[in-house]
Every structure is written in structure tokens, then in C-alpha cells.
Amino acid sequence: MDFRYLGNSGLKISEITYGNWITHGSQVENDVAGQCVRAALDAGITTFDTADVYANTAAETVLGDALVGERRESLEIFTKVYWPTGPGGPNDSGLSRKHILESINGSLRRLRTDYVDLYQAHRYDTETPLEETMQAFADVVRQGKALYIGVSEWTADQIKAGVALAEDLNIQLISSQPQYSMLWRVIEGEVVPACEEVGVSQIVWSPIAQGVLTGKYLPGQPPPAGSRATDENGGSTFIQRLMTEPILEAVQRLKPIAAEVDLTLAQLAVAWVLQNPNVASALVGASRPEQVAENVKAAGVTLPEATMKQIDEALGDVVVRDPSLTARSAPAGRPS
């Protein structure tokens, strides 16, 4: 496993981060989830990402249980706050001082740790002053409950404003967690340049595009039984926009390119996002331990420039690049 610095900080994280969105507490049984976490540890992954909203807090509990007995100082544990949790009351979501300070305590209890290495704003809260949000994060850091602060799916302007306030408060906002893959490149136009300017790294989610970039979904054929596209617990909802004939056909054109560099399609997809120097880590999940062992082989891979060009030619116009989609996909108001 290779490691990279996260933003303009001294914190190193593994190039592959194990994330348990969708899977833990919902898609897979807890014993299998534990096996996946063990496989991640065995593969050299030290960085683990979750959120309080995943399976309505159950995912944090599963991860905390799976990491019992590990040396805490050898791990980087990340979680997030914003989306509704609990019964969904008026203060059970957002980035208000009340919700942040209450949520961090719940997350620490479920994760069975005294602190998280990175506490992330899961979205931008349009209904709470940014000054209030950042002051609450600063208090979390000063209380020793988080070491660093990050954000997820914030626009370039929001990130720059957050970093400026963090600097005023003498805390470090060092990361952005956006969606990024060969197929979804909306961060390249504005978010990445802004983050390079202010010393923020990307921890990218869905580098395999919900599994589409594994090549297992074939044009003109139904999804394989047991795949995410057939999952009724939420997986199928997120993958539907990718299940189009043009996209599936383009992905099949990547197969010979992956073979040329002796990688599976999934490994090629993960290696591709890691070629971006502003990306510190690629988030991968798993419903089976062997998936972790496969994906981790993308760490440390350098793709030739010719391969990168072949990928662009193979995907053509199915690639989404519009930078305005970061703002357009964000909630207009606090969810309930």
C-alpha cells in the first residue's frame, strides 16, 4: 500500500480508503462486513470512511465493532455529519452548532473511539451561516474529538470560503470528498483548481461508478443476479443513471485497454482516479472480502500517458464534465 499526504497537512492516508456506504448495516450481514474490514487491514489499508447517515447510524456501529482490537494510532477513521439521523426531527440534520456537537458524540460512541481523524461536512448547509458551522467544527477540534475537518460535495467557492474561516479559527480544513471517476469528471474544471490553490486534497467516492466500471453490466442484457443494480435496499437507486446503453457500450471498449496494462477493469478505474495529483485516496467499498483484495492492487500503479489517452478515446462523449453539476446536485435546503 502507498500513502499520500491529505491536503496541506502532515497526515498520511492510504491511497485506498475503505468506505462502508450502502453496504454495512444494510446490504451485507455484519459478519461479512467484518470480514471485509479484516481484508482491508490485511491489504494494508489504514484509512476507513463512514457517515452517521449510512444505514441511519448502523454503519458506524458495524465499523466500530469491526475495528475493535486494532491499534487506534495505526488507523485513520473518518466520518461525516449533515443528513438526517434518528427520528428526523427539526434539528436532526444540517450543520447547525446543535446538530454538529450532538452528532460527533453519537459518532464517537458508535465508532468506539475517543476521536476521529477527519470530521466531514457531508453537504453544504444553505440554512446555517457558514461562520456558525466552522465555529462548531473548531470547537470539536479543540475538544479533541476530531483532528482535522473536511467537506463533501462542496463547490469551489464554498471550499475556499470554508478554508478561509478555518484559518481564522486556527483549525485545518484539508479535504474534499466528491464523486469522481472516468465517467464523472465534474470536479476537474473548478473544484480541483480551487483545492490546489488552498491546500485541500480529494478523497473521491464511487471511482468504479457504482460498479459499472467493472464491466459486469453488459449492453442489452439484464443486470447479474445479486448485483447492486438489483439491490432493493438502495443500491439500485444510485446506479440507474449509469445503466444506459451508450455508457455500458463505452465501458466494454475499456476491456482491451485494461488488459494491455495487466489490470482488471475495476483496478483500471481506481488507478485512473489516482493519477490525478490532487487525489489523496480512492474510496472503495465491498460486499465480499475478495473485492477488497482486487481493488487494492490499483495502489501504486502509474498508467502510461498513452493509456490515459486511450481511455478518453474509448469513453468519448459519455463522460460528464459540467462543473456546475456540483452545485446543481446539492440540496437546496436542509433535508428532513
Number of residues assigned to the chain = 336
Please give the C-alpha separations between residue 300 and each of 19, 38, 228, 292, 297, in angstroms, as whole numbers.
Answer: 19, 21, 28, 15, 8
The answer to whether residues 209 and 234 touch, using CB atoms and an 8 Å cutoff, is no
The answer to whether residues 59 and 25 touch, using CB atoms and an 8 Å cutoff, is yes
Phi/psi for 243 (5° steps) reads -90, 55
97-111 vs 58-66: helix axis angle to the nearest 10?
Answer: 40
CA distance 101 to 307: 47
148 is catalytic: no
Residue with cell 469491526: 66
Helix (H) or strand (E) holding 78: strand 76-81
Closest CA to 54 of 120, 138, 115: 120
From the list 54, 124, 148, 217, the catalytic residue is: 54
What DSSP string describes 119-188?
EEESS--TTS-HHHHHHHHHHHHHTTSEEEEEESS--HHHHHHHHHHHHHTT--EEEE--B--SSB-TTT
CA distance 87 to 92: 8
* Residues forming the active site: 54
